[in-house]
Each structure stands twice: as C-alpha cells, then as structure tokens.
A and B are shown apart, each in its own frame.
Chain A
C-alpha cells in the first residue's frame, strides 16, 4: 500500500486508525490490551467496515473498550459476551460481530456460553486475551494461571491438585465442528503483532462466508498483576507462557 504524502512533502508512515478514539487509554503501561485494540481497529479501517461492525466487551480490564473503539459496541455481563454476540448476530446476520474477552470471563464464568457459542458455529470473531490472571480485580488466579504461579488468591503458587489445572480452552474449542478458524497469537514482539493482524483480518473476511466461529487467543501480559516491568513480562511470556500455550494455528478452514 502506498503511503500518504502530505502537502509539505513528508510521507506518513504510521498513524492512529480512524476507528480509535482520542480517549486516553486506562490500561497499565506496557499492557497488551492497547496493542490488540489497535490491531482490531486497523483491520476495521482497512476493510472499511466501521458501519458494519459491532463489538462486545464484557466485564474485565477491557470492559471500557467502547471508550476507545469508535464503533457501535455493547458491554456484556461477566462471561456472557458469547451469548450477547449471538443475540446481535442472529438479528443482524449481515454485520461483523466480535467479542473481546479475558481469561476469567471466557474460560471461567463464561465457559458454558463460550463452548456453546462456538459449538453453534456463530459467525463471529471471539478475541480471547489470555494473561493468566484477573487484572481488573487486582491480580487473582485465572483459569489459565500456570502451575505454581503466584497470584493474590494463590499466594503460595497454584497448586493444581487443589485449584485445578491451567485450562487450555483454545485447544478444547478447536475440537468443536462449529469452530472454523482457531489460532493462538501474541503481541510481545512487533513481528508477533503483525501475525496477529493477519489472523484478525482473515477472521473478519471469514465472517462473510457464514461457515463458523473464528477464535483468536492472544497470549498477553499483565505487568501489574504479574508484578514485573513490561520488559520483564515479554521475557516471562516466552519462558513460561509459550511452553504451556504454544503459538500458531490450531485449526484452519479447509475449503
């Protein structure tokens, strides 16, 4: 794509997507949410679908996503984004619908809604931010918290015999016939961000086909919850998260 040349002859190589608002982000410095927001809105911009896109943001750190995304949005109750998105898509089948959910929302309180939304093959995109912790409520254990991981509610480390195992819900969902495209991406390096964008773009394109649910897990970080600097979290993701949650496509459409 050719870059825009300004009147003064300077070339614009990077700008904020028009579908991101000017509202200052409330996310902690270094948090992956803002990058994922940007990627989503870049794709909406590039596909020119602002007037056809409806987002759903349930309870969690991203509950205020509608402050930042300049599209029609619905806030959902904790765990119910899949059901809310279903309701929207069923009455507006020609629109693009996505949900944006955290690990506690999608894989704990909303597990039933998540599984059944994908099992029905709702033609939506579900974006699943997995940072292995409850960020908004102050760093409690999430269903995806790693074995031995210290959180506010597992201060001695997650004892899997007592507290259950890290839930690989993405692999689980990939088993369902309703799932069209299932992939795990991250935002810890510029290259990873580019790959995520490709997956997001593909998922929006797939919605036109009416063939099933697109599901993107984004392995992300939580500097505040993990009690690390943003730079440390990038390393921690690579050393601890990826062995449990390996990146890459888990299910790709066969046409």
Chain B
C-alpha cells in the first residue's frame, strides 16, 4: 500500500474515537450518518459538535439500518461519506453494506468492536473479524479492512480507508475495538487540505444533456449479467490483494517463533516479545494491518523459517484460520485468546509460548 507523507499538526493527547472523527473532518468528509452505541458514541458526539461550526453534514439517524442506507444514498451521489458503530449496530448494517459493495460505492464504515455475541458487553473484542473480512452480509463481496493498533492509526487510517475506497469503488472498514476507541494517546494529526476529492463520473448528481443517466443499483436480474458483475468484483478483489497488502514485522529477523496478531492484540504481543527475549526465547511478530487483503505471502515466507506460529486474538480463534491457510500445514499453528471483552495479558501469552515449546520438546523425545 502506498505511503503518503502528509503535513502534520503538533502532537496532542486524544481519545481514539475523537482522533478518528477529527481526522475525518480533516480528510474533508462530506457527510456522517450514525446512531449512538457504546463504546463509540464519542464519534457521533464529536461530529455533532464540530461539523456545524466547520464543514460537512452530520445526521443522527433513527437506526444503524437507516445510517448505512443514508451512506448508500450520499455515496451514490458522489460524496465522501462514513458511518460508525459497534458490533450489534454493525450487524444491523450488513444488508446495506452488501448493497454498497454490489453497487460499488466508496464509503467508510468504522466498527469499534465490543464483546459478543448478542448484546454482549461494552468491553473490547476482536470477535467481528470473520464478519469484517469474510463479507458479513449476503453474497460474494469483501470490504477493504484496516486494523489500527494505536490512536495514531485510528486517525491516519481514515485517510487510507477513503483513498482505497475511492480508488477501488469499494466500501472500506476500520476494524477497531473498545479499548482503542476509549484510550488516550499522543497523536500527530494530518493537517487539513491535503486530500482532494475525485470527480466521479458515475455519481447521481442530476443528469445533464451531455451524458447518459447514472444509475446506482445492485439489481441485475438476468443471471448472466449478475455473474458478470461478480466476475468484475472478483477481479477487483484480486487487484486489491495484489497491490494493497500491508503489515508490520516486529523483531522477526532472528525469530524462530512467530506471533501473529492484529490491533490491540499486536500491542500486547510486543510486550510478550520483550519478556520472552529477556528469557532468551526468540519471538517475533507479524502484524497484519490490512485484514482484507490478508498478508498471506509474508506468513507463507515465515513458514520456512519459524518453528511454529501462535495467533493471538481477542476472540475464539478467527484469524488463526487465515494464518493456517497461509502456512498450509508446513508448521504448527496455535491459537491463544480471550473472549467476551477480556484482554489477554503479555504474561499469559508468554506462558502459552513456553507451554508449546515444552510440549514440542516432549514430543521430540
């Protein structure tokens, strides 16, 4: 993925949700539609406070169902538009997201994930990984999914998400969690006026005499045509997979055991690496930044070097399936996680690593 050097403001201390919202205004957001839900209501609150005195449009909708369909309408009209919610609310949006993917509209959906299933808890979770990267709604489609691990990335990924969404006419998602949304950290925000709008020839802005009418639709009743649309979508996803994979490697150069973790879990793993290296265990970390497209190839490369992989997640083991697919049986792939709003500690991840090492040496004997 392209890395752009934007001009940035002086560092300041901000909450993840607020940094994300401020960054969206600086990204010249045209409209935000949303509905309150913990732990992300600060996003809507921030927009309701800032947008009227700055620029753009903001509307508190009657539901997440309405929010995502307002996003559909505004995106179809060529606007830079977003919504945000947390897990139960994002479930309600799935129908609309499927329509947006099929109609090939750019937009940003932010999911500040909380523990589930059901109404669950308001504590952080990564339980919506499958929903985010495998489609979520009906039909064959993907979102471009970015997973921030810091408040800085909560802010920066707004620009990345819109850039990718607009380039590929594909909805993008920032998959965060309740802790990243609520925590305060130092952030250097991208300054305003550096992110020009594109002119979308397909947008429904009123048909002038000079062009054919524009139609935003996901209805293609003839199966031959619908299959064609599917081929187009799949070709687009192949291009995204080829060009837009992004990941971070932490202390992997000499590592013989590889942790794989995204978002908050990746930060926990960084501490685990420190603790492990004090004990002489050579741990490294692959942090997928784009969850879709998934960094399959780099994981595949490490399958030749590593003794085993341990996937650390705040769910029952979801990304571990994609890691196992990438490793393709070459090395063992293990999972360590907590669920339902509980966060694994660096120490308990290390204990898991040590247990696996002990188990493996026992098996050798």
Contact = CB atoms under 8 A, between A and B. Distances in A.
B73 A88 contact: yes
B205 A77 contact: no
Given A87-B81, A116-B62, A74 B206 contact: no
A107 interface: no
Given A77-B69, A112-B66, A116-B66, A88 B57 contact: no
Nearest to B217: A75
A69 B217 CA distance: 14
Contact of B61 (A51, A56, A73, A83): A83
Interface string A71-114: 11111110010111111101110010000000000000000110
Contacts of A85: 73
Given A54-B77, A83-B61, A88-B204, A66 B70 contact: no
B217 A87 contact: no
A90 B213 CA distance: 21
Interface string B187-229: 0000000000000000011111100011111110000000000
A53 interface: yes
A51 B209 contact: yes
Contacts of B31: 87, 90-91
Contacts of A88: 73-74, 76-77, 204
A90 B218 contact: no
A114 to B, nearest CB: 10
Contacts of B63: 112
B17 to A, nearest CB: 23
Interface residues of B, number: 40
Residues of A in contact with B, size category: 20 to 34
Contacts of A227: none
Contacts of A174: none
A180 interface: no
A74 B216 contact: yes
A17 B151 CA distance: 56
Interface in B41-70: 57, 59, 61-63, 65-67, 69-70
Contact of A90 (B66, B74, B95, B214): B74
A109 to B, nearest CB: 10
5 contacts: A53-B207, A83-B61, A87-B69, A91-B78, A112-B66
Interface of B: 30-31, 33, 57, 59, 61-63, 65-67, 69-79, 81, 95-96, 99, 103, 204-209, 213-219
Interface of A: 50-54, 56, 63-64, 66, 69-77, 80, 82-88, 90-92, 95, 112-113, 116, 120
